[in-house]
C-alpha cells in the first residue's frame, strides 16, 4: 500500500511537470488551473491509481489466460516465425483497428454508452480530465487494445514501452494544448482532434487514440481550424465521483440532478 501511494504521488508529480508547463505555454483555450470539477477528475485519478488499477490488471490477466487456452498453438507458431518488425506492425495496426471500432460501438450501443458517457461528461478538458473514465470502460478499452497481442501470443513485457506510450498519449490528447504541427497531425494525431471528439454532439468523429489513420480510412476524421464551442454530453449526469461511478447502473431517467448547466466555461475558446 505504501508503495502504491508512492507511485501514485510520483505519477501525479511527473504528469504535472510534463503537462502543466505545456498547457501554460501552448493553451488551446484560456482556462484556470483549478477550473470547475477539477476535484471530480482528481478523484478519478486517485481511484484509478489506488483502487481500480489492480482490478483492471487482474481482469486483463484472466482474459489473457483464457485466450491462451483457446488460440491454436499452430497459429501462434506461424506468427512467431515472421520477422519481429512485421509482428510489431501487426500488433499496432490490429490494436488501432480494434480500438477504433470498439470506440465507435461505445458511442452507438446504449449499454456501452452508459459507461463511456462518464468520460464524455467532462466539460473542461486538460491532462487531469483524461482520467475521468469509469473502471468498466477502462477494462473494455484495455481489453481491446491488448487483444491482438494476447491473440498473437506477444508477451506483455515486450509491449510495456508501447503501452506506456499509449497511456501517456491518451493523457496528452486531452490536455489543453494546441501545437502548430501542421499536416503532421494527420499522421501522429493531436489534442485538437480529440477535443472535437469531446464536442457535445455524440458522434463527433475522431475515434482513434493515437494515429488518426483509422479515422481517415473509415471517413470519421474531423479537424476544423478552431476548437469546439462546448464540451460534454447533453443528457442528465451526476457531477461528483460516486454519482458518476454509480450512474451506469441506475435505471435510465432516474438521475435527478441536472447535467448541463452550469459550470459555465469561463472564457472564450481559441479560434
Ligand atoms: Zn468517445
Ligand atoms: Zn477522451
Q: How far is the CA of 74 from the centre of ligand 1 (A)?
A: 37
What's the gap between Cα 235 and its chain centre?
20
Q: What is the pLDDT along the chain (271 residues), one digit of tens a residue?
A: 788 999 999 999 999 999 999 999 999 999 999 999 999 999 999 999 999 999 999 999 999 999 999 999 999 888 888 888 888 889 889 999 999 999 999 999 999 999 999 999 999 999 999 999 999 999 999 999 999 999 988 876 777 788 888 889 999 999 999 998 888 888 888 999 999 999 998 778 999 988 899 999 999 999 898 999 899 998 999 999 999 999 999 987 655 444 444 444 444 444 3
Q: The dihedral of CA 203, 148, 55, 45: what is its sign? A: negative
pLDDT on residue 257: 45
Q: How far is the CA of 216 from the centre of ligand 2 (A)?
A: 18
Is residue 45 within 8 A of residue 167, CB to CB? The reply is no
Q: How far is the CA of 71 from the centre of ligand 1 (A)?
A: 30
Angle 46-51-53 from CA coordinates, rounded to 5°: 90
pLDDT on residue 14: 97
**What are the phi and psi torsion angles at 269 (to 5°)?**
-80, 160
pLDDT on residue 172: 96
Q: How far is the CA of 191 from the centre of ligand 1 (A)?
A: 14
Q: How far is the CA of 145 from the centre of ligand 2 (A)?
A: 15
Q: How far is the CA of 107 from the centre of ligand 1 (A)?
A: 6
> Which parts of 53-134 are beta strand (E)?
none
Q: How far is the CA of 149 from the centre of ligand 1 (A)?
A: 23
Q: How far is the CA of 9 from the centre of ligand 2 (A)?
A: 23
Q: How far is the CA of 119 from the centre of ligand 2 (A)?
A: 6
Q: How far is the CA of 1 from the centre of ligand 2 (A)?
A: 29
Q: How far is the CA of 192 from the centre of ligand 2 (A)?
A: 11
pLDDT on residue 255: 52
Inter-axis angle of helices 110-120 and 84-108, to 10 degrees? 100
Residue where the block lists cell 513485457:
157
What's the gap between Cα 83 and its chain centre?
31
Amino acid at each position: 500500500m505504501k508503495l502504491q501511494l508512492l507511485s501514485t504521488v510520483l505519477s501525479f508529480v511527473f504528469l504535472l511537470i510534463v503537462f502543466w508547463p505545456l498547457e501554460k505555454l501552448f493553451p488551446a483555450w484560456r482556462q484556470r488551473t483549478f477550473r470547475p470539477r477539477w476535484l471530480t477528475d482528481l478523484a478519478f485519478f486517485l481511484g484509478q491509481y489506488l483502487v481500480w488499477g489492480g482490478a483492471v490488471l487482474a481482469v486483463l490477466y484472466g482474459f489473457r489466460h483464457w485466450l491462451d487456452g483457446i488460440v491454436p498453438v499452430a497459429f501462434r507458431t506461424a506468427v512467431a516465425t515472421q520477422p519481429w518488425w512485421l509482428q510489431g506492425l501487426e500488433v499496432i495496426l490490429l490494436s488501432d483497428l480494434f480500438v477504433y471500432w470498439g470506440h465507435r460501438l461505445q458511442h452507438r450501443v446504449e449499454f456501452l454508452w452508459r459507461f463511456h458517457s462518464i468520460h464524455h461528461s467532462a466539460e473542461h478538458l486538460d491532462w487531469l480530465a483524461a482520467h475521468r473514465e469509469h473502471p468498466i470502460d477502462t477494462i473494455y478499452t484495455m481489453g481491446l487494445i491488448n487483444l491482438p497481442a494476447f491473440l498473437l501470443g506477444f508477451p506483455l513485457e515486450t509491449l510495456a514501452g508501447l503501452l506506456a506510450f499509449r497511456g501517456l498519449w491518451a493523457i496528452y490528447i486531452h490536455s489543453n494544448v494546441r501545437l502548430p504541427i501542421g499536416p503532421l497531425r494527420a499522421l501522429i494525431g493531436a489534442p485538437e482532434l480529440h477535443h472535437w471528439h469531446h464536442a457535445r454532439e455524440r458522434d463527433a468523429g475522431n475515434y482513434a487514440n493515437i494515429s488518426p489513420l483509422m479515422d481517415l480510412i473509415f471517413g470519421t476524421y474531423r479537424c476544423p481550424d478552431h476548437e469546439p464551442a462546448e464540451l460534454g454530453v447533453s443528457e442528465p449526469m451526476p457531477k461528483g465521483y460516486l454519482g458518476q461511478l454509480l450512474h451506469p447502473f441506475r435505471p435510465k431517467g432516474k438521475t435527478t440532478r441536472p447535467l448541463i448547466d452550469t459550470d459555465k466555461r469561463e472564457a472564450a475558446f481559441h479560434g
